[in-house]
Amino acid sequence: MRTLVNASWVIAHDGSSHVEIADGAVLIDGDTIVDVGARTELARHQADEHIDLGDAVITPGLIDLDALTDIDHLILDSWASPDVSSGFTWSTDYFAAPRAVFDAAQRRSVREYALTQLALHGVTSYMPIASEVHSDWAETYEDFVAMTEVSTKLGLRAFLGPSFRSGVNVIGADGKRTVQFDEEAGRRGLADALRFLDHTSQLADPLVTGVLLPCRIETLTPELLRDVARAAHERGALVRLHALQGMSERDFIQHTYGRTPLQLIAESGLLSDRLIVPHGVVLDVHPEVLGADTGDVAVLADAGVSIVHCPLTNARYAHNLHTFGGYRAQGVNLCLGTDSFPPDLVRGIDVGTQVARIQAGDLGQGHLAGYFEALWTGGATALHRPDLGRLAAGATADLAAFALDDFRMGVTEDPLRTLVLNGTARDAVLTMVAGKVVMRDGSIPGVDLPALRRAGQELFDVMRAAYPERDHRRRPVDELFPPVFPRR
């Protein structure tokens, strides 16, 4: 079936760069883009369906490589002082007898809620991230079989695998942080992850790719890291490893193993162009480390490692990449993620460009084009999918579109600058994957959004209520999460 999609603007790719086409259109045959160009030219082609989006900008589908597939916890834990935030981590007592806050059916509902949010925000390809704090250890094979079903029903392009770990960050009775280990649990988790790779191979679904998604590096033993590297090499699988993320991670690894996290990654055999690392912040260039370039960034660039930059989440947790422009200049492949709610990559780009300008002290150093390149072609490079992240003949027909006609959007200058400065990803009016409409004008076939919203709130309330049992001081919910102002 041939589909013609047109709008006042199209962001096409001419083989070397993204380009803006006014009054443009995209012609699709099945799951493949046939042509991109002026509407008047493409309108001459016969199409079975015509989607006229009016005053909007059509872009490549958004690629989120740290996509929240959970009920968000950032709304709870991004405000607290260190004393209060110590209560958000497992206590050593809880480690001895953890429990899953959600049962299997609730976990499936959590995934449906989160994946629906991705579709509503223009995300077409995603790699999931969820908190393990409310689990009894990490994710399971069964969880991801269920998640695959939900994702496939929605029609999103998924790069999936259950998380696994050998250890958990805990807070002792003295309030000090460390990591406690159960190495056998880590081995079982990797076995589950490999079993899931087999499952996705048997599915032979072009929208589902199995990947290896271990947890944070400090919760993985060197042995498990080596096992992951070996399995990835044997299976040809992508690996995403949360690392180079914070000073507590760096301090623990240096104290425990006598090397930096980057050195540990290199020694494990993971450094390659199949490694994807959120967040990649704490390297030698970071002011809390050395504040000088001694080669860490070049190590990542030379190996072809992709860094998932999550600018909105970074800002909310008071982290910065040092710097977006500096990493790009050294040849690091940067891609984008959201990591928390909302899964709004437009707001993420807005925050990222603001931070870049503040760091440089130069309004011309916002790197807006660079951020969109990271979002689209950077994500495609990380996934080894050159058919994604661009609107060009022969590319896969993954599209998003954002309305520019809302009065609150203001006037339109450049469509991308207007969207970033005045809009958000909530302005998405079309999400299309492999030539099929996933979301149109805020509606997703088969999804009851009001009912899902109610279910999401109920699940969040359950999650919030469970925090005191993990707190090493057993403080009540209202003490851990006080309101902005006193309530009467």
Does position 184 have pLDDT exceeding 90, yes or no?
A: yes
Residue 369 burial (CB < 10 Å; 0-12/13-18/19+)?
exposed
pLDDT at 1: 93
Contact 269, 242 (CB under 8 A): no
Query: What stretch of H or E contains 178?
Result: strand 177-181
Spell out the domains of the chain, with CATH numbers in brackets. Answer: 2-60+394-440 (2.30.40.10), 62-382 (3.20.20.140)
pLDDT at 139: 96
Query: Phi-psi category of 46—alpha, beta or left, where left has phi over 0 and alpha has psi -120 to 50?
Result: beta
pLDDT at 426: 98
pLDDT at 5: 99
Contact 62, 345 (CB under 8 A): yes
pLDDT at 128: 98
Q: What is the mean pLDDT of residues 457-486?
A: 96
Strands (E), 341-476: 399-403, 428-433, 436-440
Note the residue count of the chain: 488
Q: What is the pLDDT of residues 254-313, one digit of tens each?
A: 999 999 999 999 999 999 999 999 999 999 999 999 999 999 999 999 999 999 999 999
Contact 52, 8 (CB under 8 A): no
Q: What is the pLDDT of residues 391-423, one digit of tens each?
A: 999 999 999 999 999 999 999 999 999 999 999
pTM attached to this predicted model: 0.97
Contact 375, 125 (CB under 8 A): no
The identity of residue 149, as a single letter, is E
Label the pairing between strands 306-309 and 275-278: parallel
Phi, psi at 258, each rounded to 5°: 70, 25
pLDDT at 95: 94
pLDDT at 404: 99
Radius of gyration of the chain (CA): 22
pLDDT at 175: 86
Q: At CA 139, angle to CA 463 and CA 426, rounded to 5? A: 60
Does position 315 have pLDDT exceeding 90, yes or no?
A: yes
Output the 3-class SS for 40-76.
HHHCCCCCCEEEECCCEEEEECEEEEEEECCCCCHHH
Distance CA 121, CA 437 (A): 14
Alpha helices in 330-393 (DSSP H): 345-360, 368-373, 379-382
Q: What is the pLDDT of residues 339-374, one digit of tens each?
A: 999 999 999 999 999 999 999 999 988 899 999 999
Does position 133 have pLDDT exceeding 90, yes or no?
A: no
Q: What is the pLDDT of residues 40-99, one digit of tens each?
A: 999 899 999 999 999 999 999 999 999 999 998 999 999 888 889 999 999 999 999 999
Average pLDDT, the chain: 97
Distance CA 266, CA 261 (A): 9
pLDDT at 65: 99
